[in-house]
Amino acid sequence: MIIAAAIAAATAVNAGAYTWSLDSCIAYAHANNISVRQRQVEKLNAEYGVTEAKDRFLPTVSAGASQSFDFGRGLTSENTYANRNTSSFGWQAGVNLPIFQGLAGVRRLDYAKVNLAEALLQVEAAKDDITLSIIAKYLQILYSREMLAVNSSQAALSEMELDRRRQLLEAGKIAELDVLEAESQLAADRLSVVNAENDLQLAKVDLMQTLQLVYDPDFDVDSIADGMAPLPSVDEVFGNAMAYNYGMRAANTAIQAAESNVKLSRSGYLPTLSMNASLGGSYYHVGGMDNPSFSRQMRDNFSKSIGFTLSVPIFDAFSTRNNVRRAKASVLAAQLQADDTRTRLYNNIVQAHTRARSAQAKWQAGLVAERAAKAAFEAMQDKYNYGRATATEFEQSKNAWFRSRAELIQARYETLLRARILAFYNTPR
């Protein structure tokens, strides 16, 4: 049959070309997408923050030495002035051990741990965002590919019809106007093919960009199953999303981090206590005088000390108060951000559910409409072949059939996209 032959010729593909599956695209994007990698760097910084907070509990050890030389006149023991060259050397080593830091150390560690937990969730949230983006762009390629096939099959059928009319014109059975109409229709169909090819190529470029891939003209994707499963309710999806969605979990953890920072800021009101211990020695040499040996001076001038330092904040120019106020403001900001995230999540689910129901209805209606339009075209084609229909009627019927095919494809992929979004929000991770 002419129609079947045209469609088969237009939809032939290179079976040897490598194609990406949806799962492979998602996995690759999780490992290579810039947004995800940026979140991973932030997670790494948060890990360093935990390590740094733990290190604050360790003692600090320092050591130093000094050497100085003096030249010129100076006062002697006989109360006279004389040229005198002197040198001195000293060394010291000390340790400082924090005993009580006003709970700042413990609270700093708690804050760092919560901050790390938020950073881990932000990495997963970035992966979630990329996953949804990949799904949409992947399906856009499949949609564009099917639309290219539809437009190509329409152009192929128009080309066959043009050849047929040219033969009829030569036989003197139709007017030249009918041939001109067929040529015009073929030109329009070929333009639609070019536009569809461009749409497909742009869709591939868009997905490759998200995957951080260099442009490859041979890039292609696999088809996916498009079964119609019953849609879950909005309340079911939203309830599961509140528990599983990483963006929502990250927003709630950000509130905990901000509250932890308030406690850390309040540590400035509390006293601190530390222990200090040190060792030291010195050597002094005066030119022209009988000086004790270096070893003797080191032995005689050897010093040891141990002590405790208590610091009680009395007035710090309201520094601690201002830090607490800023920390409390950060809590309010985090709460507002969590509310916004919750609202956007609910609206996204409602939007996806509404569009999925509408697309499902359009798909079901489109199946009936496409079958009816195809049957009408085949009947019109028979009438046209026997001269009982005009060329205009034939073209109108053909265009109506292909338009119904395009609308059916659009509804199907809209259904697939929204259903997958709902399934993503509804699935534990």
Predicted confidence at residue 35, as pLDDT, reads 94
Q: Which CATH architecture has domain 59-100+272-311?
A: Single Sheet (2.20)
Q: Does domain 2-56+102-271+317-426 have CATH number 3.30.70.260?
A: no
Chain centroid to Cα 213, Å, comes to 16
Q: What is the dihedral of CA 271, 314, 107, 40, to 10 degrees?
A: -130
Residue 142 neighbours by CB under 8 Å, 6+ apart: 221, 223, 224, 413
Predicted confidence at residue 77, as pLDDT, reads 58
Predicted confidence at residue 1, as pLDDT, reads 44
Contact assessment for residue 35 and residue 74, using Cβ atoms and an 8 Å cutoff: no
For the chain, the domains span: 2-56+102-271+317-426, 59-100+272-311
Q: How far apart are CA 415 and CA 421, in angstroms?
A: 10
Q: CA 169 → CA 160, 165, 175, distances in Å?
A: 14, 6, 6
What's this model's pTM, rounded to 2 decimal places? 0.81
Residue 52 neighbours by CB under 8 Å, 6+ apart: 112
Predicted confidence at residue 73, as pLDDT, reads 64
Q: CA 24 → CA 91, 135, 424, 429, distances in Å?
A: 64, 11, 17, 18
Q: How many degrees, rounded to 5, is the angle at CA 404 between CA 399 and CA 407?
A: 125
SS (H, E, C) the chain: CHHHHHHHHHCCCCCCCCCECHHHHHHHHHHHCHHHHHHHHHHHHHHHHHHHHHHCCCCEEEEEEEEEEECCEEECCCCCEEECCEEEEEEEEEEEEEEECCCHHHHHHHHHHHHHHHHHHHHHHHHHHHHHHHHHHHHHHHHHHHHHHHHHHHHHHHHHHHHHHHHHHHCCCCCHHHHHHHHHHHHHHHHHHHHHHHHHHHHHHHHHHHCCCCCCCCCCECCCCCCCCCCCCHHHHHHHHHHHCHHHHHHHHHHHHHHHHHHHHHHHHCCEEEEEEEEEEEEEEECCCCCCCHHHHHHHCCEEEEEEEEECCCCCCCHHHHHHHHHHHHHHHHHHHHHHHHHHHHHHHHHHHHHHHHHHHHHHHHHHHHHHHHHHHHHHHHHHHCCCCCHHHHHHHHHHHHHHHHHHHHHHHHHHHHHHHHHHHHCCC
The whole-number mean pLDDT for each consecutive block of 10 residues of the chain, a chain of 429 residues, reads 40 52 95 95 97 93 88 63 76 90 91 96 96 96 96 94 89 86 93 97 96 91 81 94 95 97 94 92 76 80 90 92 96 97 96 94 93 94 85 90 94 92 90
Predicted confidence at residue 7, as pLDDT, reads 39
The token pair that represents 142 in the structure block: 């499949």
Predicted confidence at residue 228, as pLDDT, reads 67
Q: How far apart are CA 185 and CA 162, in angstroms?
A: 9
Chain centroid to Cα 374, Å, comes to 45
59-100+272-311 has the same fold as 2-56+102-271+317-426? no
Predicted confidence at residue 288, as pLDDT, reads 64
SS (H, E, C) 390-410: CHHHHHHHHHHHHHHHHHHHH
Contact assessment for residue 214 and residue 36, using Cβ atoms and an 8 Å cutoff: no
Contact assessment for residue 323 and residue 284, using Cβ atoms and an 8 Å cutoff: no
Helix axes 319-385 and 391-426, enclosed angle (nearest 10): 150
Q: How far apart are CA 396 and CA 390, in angstroms?
A: 10
